[in-house]
Amino acid sequence: MVQSIARNPCPEPKSALRATLLANREAQGGEADQAARNEALARRLMEAVARHRVSCIGFYWPVAGEFDARGVIAVWLAQDRARTAALPVVVERHAPMAFHAWQEDAPMKYGRYKIPVPQEERVVVPDLLVIPCVGFDEARYRLGYGGGYYDRTLAAWPAANRPATIGVAFESGRCDALPHENHDMPLDAVVTESAIY
């Protein structure tokens, strides 16, 4: 069983730390163990989302062993027809992302980096973002894949209607403290298979 690197100060540079955390995530155990982790994480994510009265959730298409939040979002959408979900779209490199409306049966196409995005380019503005994390720390700072897209997107968001943010990670990505810059913003919450932080 892979241990979390919590209790370590995570002194490595971000790129080395990212590689270590991704390797930890890939080595988490067999299919049955992963299914149990995914089920527990789905329950906790539903609980975390239910704490927010929102009408539009922006979330992510899963890549590289990430938790697949589509089932949780589909259940949330089915509870109220007025709700909307959206996926992030990289419009151009090193720029804030847009969010395009998504439904469970929406036709998809490949976007930048070969990540699926809705074929219909209907822009919506989420009031809650569910954000994937390679790693996170006790202060809820997030380590992503290094592109800085979520940081740029949140920094460009008008402060008056900045969305709530929920990070999604596995416990294997938890650290005591991650390196972060002055512009980095902690997430409002982080959900794992074990806890809501």
**Per-residue pLDDT tens over the stretch 12-61:** 688 899 999 988 888 887 788 889 999 999 999 999 999 999 999 999 99
Tell whether 49 is covered by a domain. Answer: yes
Tell whether 1 is covered by a domain. Answer: no
Range of the domain at 69: 14-191
Tell whether 196 is covered by a domain. Answer: no
Tell whether 96 is covered by a domain. Answer: yes
Tell whether 132 is covered by a domain. Answer: yes
**Per-residue pLDDT tens over the stretch 144-194:** 988 889 999 999 999 889 999 999 999 999 999 998 887 788 999 999 999
Tell whether 197 is covered by a domain. Answer: no
Q: What is the pLDDT of residue 166?
A: 98
Q: How many H helices and E strands in the chain?
A: 4, 11
Q: What's the DSSP call for residue 173?
A: G
Q: What is the pLDDT of residue 12?
A: 61
- Distance from chain centroid for Cα 73: 12
- State the CATH number of the domain containing residue 116: 3.40.50.10420
Mean pLDDT of all residues belonging to the chain: 91
Pairing of strands 174-175, 164-168: unpaired
17-31 burial by CB neighbour count: b if 16+ within 10 A, else e? bbebbbebbeebeee
Tell whether 73 is covered by a domain. Answer: yes
Q: What's the DSSP call for residue 113?
A: G
Is the pLDDT at 68 greater than 90? The verdict is: yes
Q: Is the dihedral of CA 70, 76, 82, 84 positive or negative?
A: negative
Q: What's the DSSP call for residue 6?
A: T
Q: How many domains does the chain have?
A: 1
Greater confidence (7 vs 68) lies with 68
Q: What is the pLDDT of residue 9?
A: 46
